Amino acid sequence: MKLLILILICAITTAYKISNLKVPLYADPRRAAELSCHFQMDDEKLHSVKWYREMNEIFRYTPGQEPDIRLFNISGIVVQGGECQVDSCMVRVMPHPVATRAGYTCEVSTEGPKFEIVRETKQMTVVAMPDKDPIIVGAPETVKPGEQILLNCTSALSLPPAEINWYVDGELQKPEPWQRTELGPPRDGGLRASWRVLRYTMPTTASGSLRIRCESILVVEPPVERETTSIITVFSHTENSKFVSTKGISEGHSKSGTRVTIWTLIIILMCLSL
Ligand SMILES: *[C@@H]1O[C@H](CO)[C@@H](O)[C@H](O)[C@H]1NC(C)=O
Ligand SMILES: *[C@@H]1O[C@H](CO)[C@@H](O)[C@H](O)[C@H]1NC(C)=O
């Protein structure tokens, strides 16, 4: 039984197949992406290795032909180059600065008379990640119940531009028509910043603290999220006055305390000099 399993495992691991297909999940539109396909030929003879983007061929390797590597530009990408080793082929593509997702397929076929084909596909999405968390501007440290605050959250440059959502104590704030996500001008690689304002009126019964969260989302597959939270303390009238008065008293004490010490010192010095 054990021997049978061992033979089976050996049979599986030595079979003619694609052993490793490396396609980055995300590609940055400002840099070329490298895709590689590792294959295992077992006793079969390699006829060709092809790369496809969706249904379109972008690369072909046919050992023994001249030239053995051919590249094909198609709409959506520029094929920059490619090379092959005995058990792998690599292709370098520069995606267009448009946030799109596409399937990349590696296809390995054997020589005749069998002409067997194995292929594997992985998806790659063109995304430029924001390099920072979003920034909230305008958050006061403290607010009074009933007071209105105006906040502005800006997300770092990205492709696609980020959608912005506001949450107050975990509750999603529905955007007013004038509070939609706004976009900055396109920069290098089609990247854009985005921002959204939030006007929020403190409930008159508010107390304690308020968690204001700004979430920026890149709507791609799979989505990319970043967020920032500001904590705002709510001061009711009584708490506020208590706070101010204790502060005033303690400061007064310490100041007059220092003054007394200085006067004592001066008197002692005058007495000594006499
Ligand atoms: C693909 O397009 C790029 C840029 O336009 C060019 O430099 C390259 O030679 C083209 N490659 C092929 C195989 O046509
Ligand atoms: C929000 O911030 C962005 C810059 O990050 C600025 O361009 C925009 O004018 C601000 N909006 C408001 C209403 O303050």
164 lines ligand 2 (CB under 6 A): no
Domain 18-126 of CATH type 2.30.40.10: no
Examine domains 18-126 and 135-235 and report if their fold is the same.
yes
Residue among 73, 74, 79 to mutate when testing ligand 1 (max atoms within 8 A of CB): 73
Q: How far is the CA of 148 from the centre of ligand 2 (A)?
A: 18
149-202 pLDDT tens trace: 999 999 999 999 999 999 999 999 987 777 889 999 999 888 999 999 999 999
Q: How far is the CA of 4 from the centre of ligand 1 (A)?
A: 52
152 lines ligand 2 (CB under 6 A): yes
Write the DSSP string, the chain. -HHHHHHHHHHHHHSSEEEEEE--SEE-TTS-EEEEEEEE-TTPPEEEEEEEETTEEEEEE-TTSSSSEEE--BTTEEEEEEEE-SSEEEEEEEE-SS--EEEEEEEEEEPTTT--EEEEEEEEEE-B--SS--EEE---SEE-TT-EEEEEEEEEEEBSPPEEEEEETTEE-PPPGGGS-EE----GGG-EEEEEEEEEEPPTT--EEEEEEEEEEE-SSS-EEEEEEEEEEE--HHHHHHHHHHHHHHHHHHHHHHHHHHHHHHHHHHHHH-
Average pLDDT, the chain: 84
- Per-residue pLDDT, averaged over 253-263, amounts to 44
Domain ranges of the chain: 18-126, 135-235
57-84 pLDDT tens trace: 999 999 989 999 999 998 888 999 999 9
78 lines ligand 1 (CB under 6 A): yes
Instruction: Assign a CATH topology to domain 135-235.
Output: Immunoglobulin-like (2.60.40)
39 lines ligand 2 (CB under 6 A): no
Residue identifier of the C-alpha nearest atom 9 of ligand 1: 80
